[in-house]
Amino acid sequence: MKRRRLLQSTATVLLLGSAQIARGASILAVRVWPAAEYTRVTIEADTPLNTQAQFVANPPRLALDIEGIELNPALRELVGKVRSDDPYITGVRVGQFNPTTVRLVLDLRQMVQPQVFWLAPVSASGKGQSTYQHRLVMDLYPTQIADPLEALIAQQHAATTRPGTDPLGDWMARQQAVASAPGGTVTSPQSTPPAAPPPVGRAPGMGGSSLPATPPTAVAAPAITPPATPATSTAGANPDTAERFIVVALDPGHGGEDPGAIGSRGTREKDVVLQIAHRLRDRINATTLNTRQQRLPMRAFLTRDADFFVPLHVRVQKARRVQADIFISLHADAFFTPEARGASVFALSQGAASSSAARWMANQENRADAMGGLNIQTRDAHVQRALFDMSTTAQINDSLKLGGEMLGNIRRIGKLHKPAVEQAGFAVLKAPDIPSVLVETAFISNPQEEALLISEDYQNKLADALMQSIERYFLRNPPLARQRVASLPPLPGT
């Protein structure tokens, strides 16, 4: 009776796979990736499966019938892979519905905008990368999405108007002013760096849902209204009145289904770059730039702050959504042989890559969408074309300046793979209005550099070097005065 009510209730039905039942198919693995932005459930099989998904609104749940298989241990494991703190899934039920069909039910905490889609097999093309067979992906997106720009503005307001209640504000109060460059100073951390973020471990299994009824789409950057007169302040001005703050978008590469490169010790690129991003975030949030015109607090925005997958075009859109002043994508390099070593910095190229190695690297990084699992049906071709074809000469020139500052500071703490900023067609660097660089922090395929990447000491040194580069870049290239718009529509599905 319960089964009949489930199938007869008001719902949307989605059929996936071929009309022919794939008998004898094997479920290879199930994985769950919970995050505040969305939860993903992945079922990997050796052949495509004939699957019917049905979303029921009251109470919210997703029922998935997988035809042509029998219940196996891999599917049973899904029950234990959903964490108690998953934002969207409360539990999983799985059983043999009939001799040829397994029914999977995801019980949900809230209404969602679900997507269900198949991913074709993808093979590794670089050292230490993963290989996947046929994947069924269920993504659960919230129906109401917070505005990231409003969150940043609120964070900055809290830091400047509620002294004693904000940890970063308290830490900023203990800093000392140091000369950084002619014409300006930076209020920077003292010798003791921010507390190290907790280690990013291997993510346990996690969750997702169905139906691309209202898929996540890219959103154009919000308009920026310039003030009638440039915002300025005297040396003794009250920072509480500052209308302008610098936003640094940090983009830890890979995540979720896409581990990135994997070192000989099992170190995953996605974990290391997230740790470095957390360290750099703490330094950015604790820094205020003092220019001749005004006092500019800094705030960091992470395109992902946990272990989940973010498509390349969404990373760019997120940075534009918060009106970022610069964009820094963090990665760890890898090659087929362990001898390659050193850090590199890349900027976008409007034409040919600056070298064959840069072109190869861009091709490797641009494969992240295939590995991480992008639902290509949700992409707006017109928006993507506009986004990826509007790179400007000014953006690239500013990116090269930022990259040059970074190479100069990274050189002091370790070896460089290339002495100059390389250029190629990196998809994640194609925001037309934001100076953007991609930093390969070291070679994770080199055993010695893999050891460095997982060491707290090197991560702190690298974060310090990048922070110094950011400070000097803005002192030499002060950001334009502008007013930030807080009341903007949310970015769907991100």
Q: Provide CATH code, domain 2-142.
A: 2.60.40.3500
- Most confident region among 126-135, 143-152, 339-348 by mean pLDDT: 339-348
Distance of alpha carbon 358 from alpha carbon 352, whole angstroms: 10
34 close to 85: Cβ distance less than 8 angstroms? yes
Same fold, 2-142 and 148-201+211-476: no
Per-residue pLDDT tens digits for 336-351: 889 999 999 999 887 6
pLDDT of residue 158 exceeding 50, the answer is yes
- What is the rounded average pLDDT of the residues 343-362? 75
pLDDT of residue 92: 95
Distance of alpha carbon 434 from alpha carbon 153, whole angstroms: 19
332 close to 443: Cβ distance less than 8 angstroms? yes
Which of 104-108, 140-144, 280-284, 405-409 is predicted least confidently?
Answer: 140-144
CATH architecture of 148-201+211-476: 3-Layer(aba) Sandwich (3.40)
454 close to 399: Cβ distance less than 8 angstroms? no
> Around Cβ 231, how many Cβ atoms within 10 Å?
17
- What is the rounded average pLDDT of the residues 144-150? 78
pLDDT of residue 150: 76
Q: For residues 106 and 23, which has the higher predicted lDDT (pLDDT)?
A: 106
Distance of alpha carbon 264 from alpha carbon 405, whole angstroms: 31
pLDDT of residue 127: 52
Angle 110-112-118 (CA atoms, 0-180°, nearest 5)? 135
417 close to 333: Cβ distance less than 8 angstroms? yes
- What is the rounded average pLDDT of the residues 12-26? 47
Q: For residues 382 and 158, which has the higher predicted lDDT (pLDDT)?
A: 158
Q: Which of 323, 365, 321 is nearest to 37 (CA)?
A: 321
pLDDT of residue 206 exceeding 80, the answer is no
- What is the rounded average pLDDT of the residues 59-76? 91
Q: For residues 86 and 491, which has the higher predicted lDDT (pLDDT)?
A: 86
- What is the rounded average pLDDT of the residues 275-289? 96
Per-residue confidence at 454, pLDDT binned at 50, 70, 90? very high
- Token reading at 395: 């953006």
Residues 6+ apart with CB under 8 A from 408: 469
- What is the rounded average pLDDT of the residues 71-85? 92
- What is the rounded average pLDDT of the residues 50-66? 93
Per-residue pLDDT tens digits for 288-301: 998 777 889 999 99
Which sequence spans correspond to the domains of the chain? 2-142, 148-201+211-476
pTM of the predicted protein model: 0.77
